[in-house]
A and B are shown apart, each in its own frame.
Chain A
Amino acid sequence: MKNPLIGSAPSRRSVLMGMSAGAGALAFPGFIQAQSSAPVKLGFQLHRTGIGAAYGRWYERTTQAALKVLNEAGGINGRPVEIVFEDDGTDPRRGSEVVEKLASQHGCDAIFGPLFSHVVIGSAPRAGELKVPYLVCSEGFHVASGLNRWTLQPGITDVKAQVRAMAPWVAANLGKKVTMVFPDYAFGYDHRDAFSEAIKEQGGEVVAMIAIPPTETSFTRYLPQIPADTEVLYHVMVGPAVLTFVKELGEFYGTGARPQIFGFIDSLEAVDLASPGLEFLEGSHFWEGHCRVKQADATEHETFYRAAVGVDDNGASVSDKRDVSTYAHMFSTWETLFVLKAGMEAAGYQGVADRQKLVEAIEAMTTMPLSREHPQGDKVFNGKTHQVFGHQFISKVEGGKLMRVHIAAIEDGMYPDAVDYSTMSF
């Protein structure tokens, strides 16, 4: 017998290869695990400072609450979820840096969370370049009018849908000659364009448009521009000076004659309706994306959500009555996180290589029923425009509380598609 063992014995080369592979596996234990139980890492682009800070504070709390619920129920695909919060200062330039940092440095599977439209518009191109799913919790018409295929808005309706749903009620109940007061940037222009078009369809008209820079701190000087024959004053303001705006509006009209006032709750998000100087709002109306004051017919999901986030029946923090939430908007971060979960599970998401599959899975979504995951209400998602549609609420200030007087149907806010993302390349 000549060297009988040579043929069946492992060659030196294969032994070396096996050894190096084993050593490699020992050196990077996380790597072999990545496919199975390593956490899903999501990035949250947060307005922690700057003019969006009040929203940011509550967006973070809501997301933390949603994350807790999500992880307690087993995470995504059985994997725990981790969220990296990164402050963008409500600044578009820093916004794109945050996207870069979350995607490249932290290696997040997807990014979500930004609200202010100028930040979204400034950040979305970077998300597109980095090919990372970017789920915004904004309201601008920019997603449905075309950014890039990686940008989606599955958690909150856009301004165009909101105002289209409101316009018939405003025209029928308050008046047809409308003066608009809005912030002088993208979000305000969406209001200006979409509402003036919608009110025209109702046989009304916008008699004056007053655009105010979002950094303005004094407003009385703008108010005389409101024409005397105005029947409805439509206001939507954002940023740190919103309370000042509403107070000055009250001082300006005083006890004299005044038009009907219809506001977007943005003008008073995170502001206590019982603040001194706001008494004049009694009897005026607000749009709400989600009713701040717990209504008599609140669903069990709504009750669960309110408790999880730590908000009392008046919409303030349970630990501090003066800390009023941004209730009409913050549900969007909760719902977006659960859309991410549903999308990742539908796509069989494993890692960053599956990012495109995740976008395609969300695009394939259609209806989102009222549930713990969608406490604001049922929704319809349009995969072509990446935009979700839902119910809108009109509330009246009665005894210093916002009481709902109208629920707009999902169809009320729908409009023809302006873009088809599903035909675009990734």
Chain B
Amino acid sequence: MDFGPFLLLALMEGLVAAAVLALTAVGLSLVFGVMRVVNVAHGEFFMLGAVAAWFVTQWVPGPPWVAFAVALILCPLLVGAVAALADVLVLKRLNYDPEATIVATIGLLYILQQAALTFYGPDARPVEAPFIWRIQFPWFGYSGYKLAVVAAAAVILAGVWLFMTRSRTGLVMRATQLDRDTARAFGINVDRVYAGTFALGAGLAAVAAVLIVPISQAHYLMGHDPLLLSFIVVIIGGLGSLRGTLVAALVIGLSDGVISMFFSPTLAKILATLFVALVLVFRPQGLFGKRLA
């Protein structure tokens, strides 16, 4: 294949990776930004979303797009509810102590993984795409659904941004982020904000997962890569910065697409990790993060 088509394919693959990564990482970043919780179980919320999507699409009758639409709405709510429950039952009781929450979310990771293994089983199962449409380029064919994933992610991210900047709830979340105690003094129910934020973060990971199941199947061990890449993105972008997360997701996603196609996927991961190390050395707050006072 010539260089031009090769690059086009690499960029499209990179864009799909970036879209899914951005959704997942924004969830992680939001949780850290507002709650100062490093959520190691984030990848498992992603997995839970994919697994739930399989159950939902099995259960909903009718054409694939109906089942998929139901899954896209129901699964994030479901995963969000699980996350809110985890927040109330576990994280709140630890008083959101940074070290304790890391250990607690590691525990949560294993609980969710084993629960998925018990109730869903060890198999990888496909979810049918809502539509099958292939774009036939002169050099290769490409899944139209994958491009739809990019569009859907862009719309959802725009929604999250509007929610955070324009809505009253977003304002309350940002107020809590700035100073928990002052927010509480102004009558904000911080507990509810935290539970809601944790649910929103997990829900975003679940949305990303539902979008990706028709491309890659649901499997109980699938949470590992999204977690690692989300951390890479969030550290590069700056913890808690939505804009930084988005930019970093694009950089990592596209470079992953291009480098892994022209060289090797392993090299892409090595470079991404190296980039994280450089960011941590030269700009510890991340590219767009604000230095903590």
Contact = CB atoms under 8 A, between A and B. Distances in A.
A243 B265 contact: no
Among B122, B132, B138, the one with the most A-chain Cβ atoms within 10 Å of its Cβ is B122
Interface in A178-227: 213, 216-218, 220-221, 223-224
Interface string B132-173: 101010111111000000000000000000000000000000
A50 B124 CA distance: 10
B123 interface: yes
Contact of A253 (B13, B17, B140, B257): B140
B71 interface: no
Contacts of B9: 220-221, 224
A425 interface: no
Interface string A239-268: 011011000100111111000000000000
B260 interface: yes
A284 to B, nearest CB: 16
A53 interface: yes
A254 B141 contact: yes
A275 B217 contact: no
Interface string B1-29: 10001100110010001000000000000
A277 interface: yes
A346 B22 CA distance: 64
A276 interface: yes
A57 interface: yes
Nearest to B7: A224
Given A213-B266, A221-B265, A228-B1, A50 B122 contact: yes
Contacts of B126: 243, 275
Contacts of A255: 134, 136, 141
A54 interface: yes
Among A51, A223, A224, A256, the one with the most B-chain Cβ atoms within 10 Å of its Cβ is A224
Contacts of B6: 224
Contacts of B124: 54, 240-241, 243
Interface residues of B, number: 36
B219 interface: yes
B222 A217 contact: yes
Nearest to B128: A276
Given A221-B261, A251-B134, A275-B126, A241 B216 contact: yes
Majority SS at the chain B contact face: mixed
Interface in A36-50: 48-50
B10 A221 contact: yes
B225 interface: yes
B257 to A, nearest CB: 7
B215 interface: yes
B74 interface: no
Contact of A54 (B117, B123, B141, B216): B123
Nearest to A271: B126
Contacts of B117: 49
Interface string B249-268: 00000000100110001100
B265 A213 contact: yes
Given A50-B122, A240-B123, A221 B216 contact: no
Contacts of A221: 9-10, 13, 257, 260-261, 265
A254 B122 contact: no
A277 B64 CA distance: 14
9 contacts: A213-B265, A218-B215, A221-B13, A240-B124, A240-B219, A244-B215, A252-B140, A254-B134, A276-B128
Given A224-B1, A241-B216, A243-B217, 18 more contacts: A50-B221, A51-B221, A53-B122, A56-B122, A57-B122, A217-B225, A221-B260, A224-B5, A240-B221, A243-B126, A244-B215, A244-B217, A251-B142, A252-B142, A255-B134, A270-B123, A275-B126, A276-B132
Q: What are the nearest 7 A-B pairs in CB distance? A: A254-B141, A240-B124, A53-B122, A49-B122, A221-B261, A240-B219, A254-B136
